[in-house]
Amino acid sequence: MPTSYTYTSLKAAIVAIVEETGTEFAGDLDILIPLAEDKVLRDLDLELFDETFVGTLTADSPWLTKPTGILGVRTLHYTDASGNYQLLEPRSWAFCKDYWPKAATTTATPKYFSEFSDTSWMVAGTPSSELTVTARCIKRPAGLDGSTSTTWLSQHAGDLLLFAALELSEMYLKSDERIPTWKQGYLERLVVARNESKPETRVDYMPIDPAPTAKG
């Protein structure tokens, strides 16, 4: 089985393996394949798909609008009055509410952020002046379709993409007995793909503690 696919060959492989030649299923592959691509993108978690966006925190407001079309956020940082980058630490919504309960009436230096909705983040504390915020986000790259024959995923992780699509296809077809087969095959290939793509895998930022100074 090839490890790379085109848009046409991937659809043909899915149809042949699940043995479903109906026109309705064939048409719905244009829904299932993007879902499989999103699954693989999240599970591989590669920095090569990241993009940087610039937004604005307005004065007296804890809300920051998300860029459209992102799958997740890596980091948020803003530029302070001295021109220095200040990293916002990710926390849960409950933590931010507890830390900053009067977000609409009190201002302070922003320190944390949390997911609030599909269109915005919540920042704690609330800035007293406008701040420029840079977001490093996981952006969904162009996917396979009638006008895009190949993508990075289809060429470099084609088998992983295929098994993700097969699992979703069997769920669509309600072939419950075959779902575990594709799920297990996907997990096995995910381990291999992660090892092969280690140079592009995200490494979380860890602050470096200053070296201790000698005493005496």
Does residue 215 fall inside a structural domain? no
Cis peptide before 146 (omega within 30 of 0): no
> Do 124 and 58 have their domain in common?
yes
Predicted local confidence at residue 212, as pLDDT: 46
For residue 200, pLDDT beyond 50: yes
> Do 162 and 133 have their domain in common?
no
> Do 73 and 114 have their domain in common?
yes
> Do 71 and 131 have their domain in common?
yes
> Do 15 and 81 have their domain in common?
no
Does residue 207 fall inside a structural domain? no
For residue 208, pLDDT beyond 70: no
The whole-model pTM stands at: 0.69
User: Which of 117, 139, 161 delimits the end of a domain?
Assistant: 139
> Do 134 and 53 have their domain in common?
yes
Does residue 5 fall inside a structural domain? no
Does residue 216 fall inside a structural domain? no
Does residue 163 fall inside a structural domain? yes
Predicted local confidence at residue 207, as pLDDT: 44
pLDDT tens, 10-58?
A: 999 999 999 999 999 999 999 999 999 999 988 998 888 899 999 999 9
Q: Which domain holds residue 63?
A: 49-139
Query: Could you write out the three-class secondary structure of the chain?
Result: CCCCCCHHHHHHHHHHHHCCCCHHHHHHHHHHHHHHHHHHHHHHCEHHHEEEEEEEECCCCCEEECCCCEEEEEEEEEECCCCCEEEEEECCHHHHHHHCCCCCCCCCCCCEEEECCCCEEEEECCCCCCEEEEEEEEECCCCCECCECCCHHHHHCHHHHHHHHHHHHHHHHCCHHHHHHHHHHHHHHHHHHHHHCHHHECCCCCCCCCCCCCCC
pLDDT tens, 109-168?
A: 999 999 999 999 999 999 999 999 999 998 888 899 989 999 999 999 999 999 999 999
Instruction: State how many domains the chain has.
Output: 2
